[in-house]
Each structure stands twice: as C-alpha cells, then as structure tokens.
C-alpha cells in the first residue's frame, strides 16, 4: 500500500477501501489518520510541503510501518 501511494498513478484510491471521516478520506485499514485544513503550500525542491491546522486525528494500537535505507520494517516502542 505504501508503494502504491508513493507512486505516480493518476487514481491511487482505485480498489482501496476508504471512507469519509470529518470530510476527509481515510483508509479503512490504517495505523493513523489526520484531517487538516490546508493553510499554506510551500515548494521545497521537487516536493511541496503542506502546512495545515489539524481538525481531527485518530490512531490505532497497531505497529506503524517505517522506511529506512530502502527497506520497509516496523517500529517497536522502547
């Protein structure tokens, strides 16, 4: 799923279960979710930083996915 959303496909949500929560799309099977009102877009090289005000957020007790040195893994608490 991470590779799908990191790619350049036009419609990344095709066949991905999601629902609207507080007016924002949220994946059904997720670790965390944040809905923001966009305040500013800042161009930073070949990226755009989105600065916003958090309107709603949610997280689960599942282990989050991490990415380091071109490898996916998990992060365990200390």
Residue given tokens 């944040």 in the structure block: 34
Strand partners, 68: 71
11 within some domain? yes
How does 42-69 read in b/e, with b if 16+ C-beta sit within 10 Å? eeeeeeeeeeeeeeeeeeeeeeeeeeee
Count how many domains the chain has.
Answer: 1
pLDDT at 13: 84
| Sign of the C-alpha dihedral computed for residues 29, 31, 36 and 42 taken in this order | negative
Read off the pTM.
0.65
76 within some domain? no
Using alpha carbons only, what angle is made at residue 73 by residues 77 and 56, rounded to the nearest 5 degrees? 65
- Flag residues of the chain having pLDDT under 50: 78
65 within some domain? no
78 within some domain? no
Q: Give me the domain span that covers residue 40.
A: 2-59
24 within some domain? yes
CATH at residue 39: 2.30.110.10
């Amino acid at each position: 799923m991470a590779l799908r959303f990191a790619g350049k496909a036009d419609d990344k949500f095709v066949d991905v279960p999601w629902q609207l929560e507080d007016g924002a799309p949220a994946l059904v099977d997720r670790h965390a979710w944040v809905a923001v009102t966009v305040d500013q877009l800042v161009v930073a090289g070949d990226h755009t930083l989105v600065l916003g005000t958090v309107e709603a957020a949610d997280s689960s007790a599942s282990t989050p996915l991490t990415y380091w040195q071109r490898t996916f893994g998990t992060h365990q608490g200390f």
